[in-house]
């Protein structure tokens, strides 16, 4: 996000010099009924890519700023995220090609190379899954298939706004429905609603190419 220093939480997220540019529901095709926890685990283990539209709200002092973003990502790391609303920041792009991250605002013709930040990582469902897979068990089927699942992780690092997170999943498709990130005071700091989610889509490599 920010270049050569850590981002301040109070800095406006998503404008001009790449303050927001961070980024999982609907979609997918399953009709077998709710899956078990093991089936859900298998779905996520085999998720090679996804494309999603996400409404993200950042909370600061009980005030929320909401953005709608379009996100494309590969399990191998590359991702592309573009803000589609509000109009004032529409088109602002974050792109990681597997080696470096750039952020650009086409409205003013500005592009910057961005440093990695924990806030941006928190917006990607792949980041949540990687942490969950390291700490959870795939064999908790005692309750049988469920219409909805909730997974929770204790987040890595020391950022005061990124303490733990919860992800709600559709029991039939396995797709993410919503996610909430909590601060150290157990208040929601980031809220995400997945307006659509397409798993294992065939993404053209050029989508992640920095030119």
pLDDT band at 137 (very low <50, low <70, confident <90, very high): low
99-124 tens-digit pLDDT: 999 999 999 999 999 998 999 999 99
User: Which H or E run includes 44?
Assistant: helix 37-45
12-31 tens-digit pLDDT: 334 332 334 333 334 445 44
What CA–CA distance (Å, rounded) separates 206 from 107? Answer: 22
Given a cut of 90, whether residue 89 has pLDDT beyond it is: yes
Beta-carbon-side half-sphere exposure of residue 152 (alpha carbons within 13 Å): 4
Query: Domains plus CATH for the chain?
Result: 37-208 (2.50.20.10)
For residue 112, the cross-strand partners are 103
Q: Please give the pLDDT value at position 127.
A: 95
Contact 194, 54 (CB under 8 A): yes
Average pLDDT, rounded, for the chain: 85
Beta-carbon-side half-sphere exposure of residue 158 (alpha carbons within 13 Å): 1
Q: Please give the pLDDT value at position 161.
A: 96
Given a cut of 80, whether residue 3 has pLDDT beyond it is: no
Contact 21, 115 (CB under 8 A): no
Given a cut of 80, whether residue 171 has pLDDT beyond it is: yes
pTM, rounded to two decimals: 0.83
């Amino acid at each position: 996000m920010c270049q050569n220093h850590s981002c301040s939480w109070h800095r406006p997220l998503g404008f001009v010099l790449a303050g927001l540019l961070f980024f999982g529901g609907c979609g997918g095709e399953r009709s077998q009924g709710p899956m078990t926890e093991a089936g859900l685990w298998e779905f996520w283990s085999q998720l090679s890519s996804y494309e999603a539209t996400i409404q993200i709200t950042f909370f600061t002092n009980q005030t929320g700023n909401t953005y709608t973003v379009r996100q494309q990502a590969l399990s191998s790391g590359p991702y592309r995220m573009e803000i589609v609303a509000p109009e004032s920041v529409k088109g602002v792009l974050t792109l990681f090609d597997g080696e470096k991250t750039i952020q650009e605002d086409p409205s003013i013709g500005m592009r910057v190379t961005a440093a990695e930040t924990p806030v941006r990582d928190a917006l990607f469902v792949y980041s949540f899954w990687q942490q969950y897979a390291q700490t959870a068990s795939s064999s908790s089927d005692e309750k049988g298939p469920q219409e909805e699942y909730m997974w929770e992780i204790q987040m890595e690092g020391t950022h005061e706004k990124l303490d733990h997170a919860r992800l709600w999943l559709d029991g039939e498709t396995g797709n993410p429905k919503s996610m909430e990130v909590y601060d150290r005071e157990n208040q929601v700091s980031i809220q995400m609603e997945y307006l659509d989610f397409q798993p294992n889509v065939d993404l053209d490599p050029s989508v992640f190419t920095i030119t």
